[in-house]
Structure 1
């Protein structure tokens, strides 16, 4: 039997395919197209302590080899997620990852407390619950004049340390490729008790409407994702995986089973699929089938045989 099973922070994943935050909602829509119970995991739409309406104006723009997005973390808020969306999540099998953002440390801490308390209560009742928190530190840090938590290592250290103290759930930290030094940032996450790092988030980018003579986006800049960023993301995952002992969730432009295998060979424990979900509405099931075919062709019985071999 060829096994696609993976382990991240003591959590069993049936396979390495995890749907990235903001590209899969909470799974309901895609469940109408294929059996999402076949997925390894789902990282939910980015949550904040309070509901957010998101950015005004254009939110998505297709570009060569990918897409730009300026959604602005529109979401129902942590309470609505726990009271409403979790009812659906209790009915599905993939590993459940709550992606949590915030504008200041207090919001991160309170959000993590709510998610943790809810998970502990559900488990007492033998109900399915959130398995892991993915801390999105690419959100603007209001108290630091708009500098993203994920750019400065010393600022990121503070929020990770505070959240680590209030949650018993495994903690992943989602890193920005715009960090001053992503390897140093990853090592710091490990030092502060994170059980995993996720990388990379979108790259800061821009699109200009030459006829309107202004940026397409009200926020001026947007996040670039998709195949265009894959070679850079792959390089960053490889660099980080060589310097930390905690698992790495790799992401960035994955659009084929061979891309998945590259990230695993670079050292990723599992991968997250983002923009490809918009390019191929059945991305999850097709990637899983492609990985299985590769393993059969290459006579690989377990992904551990090739993980981190580069």
Structure 2
């Protein structure tokens, strides 16, 4: 069911100059290229403000060896390895199948080198996607495998390079696996990002004690789900302190499974809220979150969801 007329009046937001019908964003890697969940009865992309497409690289990638996914208490480890058909296939064959009247579609750009980020961003610039999200958590193969997003200088270089080859809104996805996420966010803002998303997954491991081996084929993977929410809330609040003076909006994400979770991210400073792992056990979650946010606004005498952003009062 789409966002109804009344909800549109209270839930519609502006994000990087783009009108979103709802503050909810379907996260990259959780909904394929925007088509998978439309096969579920009762689900509609019109329920959300935007869909972040699966991470895309310059050339096709097969991804990591199995196991790729492992359920943990209150969460999930994944190490998919950026399996994707490559940017040319996405632009030429997948994007034409999407209904851009349903919602906003945001490309997710990944790369192993600065040159690959530039190439993929440039290709998406000449496409109908509404915005581009840069996944800077990828390892830089030219710098010993250090993740771009864990080094503020490398983060800024990626953002600056991508900014030069696209006029579309740029959203930089920040890693929690770093010492100073606020400082990194500041560098990305200075380099030209229009928006930020926080957080990407926390790195973790699962061990099979009987086999005395790691469960994930890649040995380590990204932890998502409710277990990461307290970390994510703190990181969003920290990023908000440096983003607010510049008017840079944030997609807050990490363990959202209810309307109350989403409201917490808004209060911490997010303008929009990402939903990902929660969809795996409840594909119809977004409609429930929209309704829950609207009910909260009515109970508290608020007329619009934007009144919640950054409204947190510290002790």
Q: TM-score with structure 1 length normalisation?
A: 0.94
SS in 2 for 1:110: helix
- Provide the alpha-carbon RMSD of the alignment: 1.1
Structure 1 residue aligned with 2:131? 132
Q: Using the TM superposition, give the Cα deviation of residue 91 of structure 1 relative to its aligned residue in structure 2, in angstroms.
A: 4.8
Runs of 4+ in 1 over 3 A off after TM superposition: none
Matched, 1:18 2:25: yes
Matched, 1:86 2:95: yes
Equivalent-residue separation in structure 1 for 2:290 and 2:94 (angstroms)? 26
- 1:224-303 → structure 2 map (5 Å cutoff): 224-244=223-243, 245=246, 246-303=248-305
Equivalent-residue separation in structure 2 for 1:92 and 1:275 (angstroms)? 25
Q: Using the TM superposition, give the Cα deviation of residue 281 of structure 1 relative to its aligned residue in structure 2, in angstroms.
A: 1.3
Structure 2 residue aligned with 1:44? 53
Contact 1:152 1:180 in 2 (8 A): no
Q: Using the TM superposition, give the Cα deviation of residue 70 of structure 1 relative to its aligned residue in structure 2, in angstroms.
A: 0.7
- 1:147-162 → structure 2 map (5 Å cutoff): 147-162=146-161
Say how many residue pairs are matched.
Answer: 300
Equivalent-residue separation in structure 2 for 1:232 and 1:289 (angstroms)? 26
SS in 2 for 1:46: strand
Equivalent-residue separation in structure 2 for 1:102 and 1:275 (angstroms)? 23
Contact 1:36 1:284 in 2 (8 A): no
SS in 1 for 2:142: helix
- 1:159-178 → structure 2 map (5 Å cutoff): 159-178=158-177
Equivalent-residue separation in structure 1 for 2:108 and 2:289 (angstroms)? 23
Per-residue displacement from partner, 1:82-105 (whole Å, max 9, x unpaired)? 111111224542111000000000
Equivalent-residue separation in structure 2 for 1:305 and 1:165 (angstroms)? 34
Q: TM-score with structure 2 length normalisation?
A: 0.93
Structure 2 residue aligned with 1:121? none
Matched, 1:116 2:118: no
SS in 2 for 1:86: helix
SS in 2 for 1:45: strand
Equivalent-residue separation in structure 2 for 1:227 and 1:102 (angstroms)? 28
Equivalent-residue separation in structure 2 for 1:35 and 1:21 (angstroms)? 17
Cα distance change of structure 1 residues 91 and 116 upon mapping to structure 2, 3 Å threshold: closer
